[in-house]
Amino acid sequence: MQLKVLERKQNEIMVEIDGEGHTLCNLLESVLLEDNEVEVAGYTIPHPLVGKPILRVRTKGNKEPKEALREALIKIIERGRDLRKEFERTFKEYYETGSG
């Protein structure tokens, strides 16, 4: 995966994400929109065969877009860790009770 900043303004950033698709971009968009300081978060994939989504983030002004993006990525990582722990706990419980 490679990132390329296409445009940067005071409250807005557009980033091309080479090598990713809807899975990551949709998740990133959702988490960004949970932030009250994010005014707009969305992505487009100009051509489905090229696979270079363009993510746009605009904030209300109290937070830089790159900071909102960084925080969203941290939340995604933390949620992934929480999900892994829950899977491990659940499967350990499942196999210890003889259900599996």
> By the 8 A CB rule, do 4 and 15 touch?
yes
Domain that holds residue 17: 2-96
pLDDT tens digit sequence for 14-71 = 999 998 989 999 999 999 999 999 999 999 998 877 779 999 999 998 999 999 999 9
Helix or strand holding residue 14 (H, E): strand 12-18
What is the number of structural domains in the chain?
1
Q: What are phi and psi of 38, to 5 degrees?
A: -90, 120
Helix or strand holding residue 55 (H, E): strand 54-59
CATH number of the domain within which 44 lies: 3.30.1360.10
Whole-model pTM: value is: 0.86
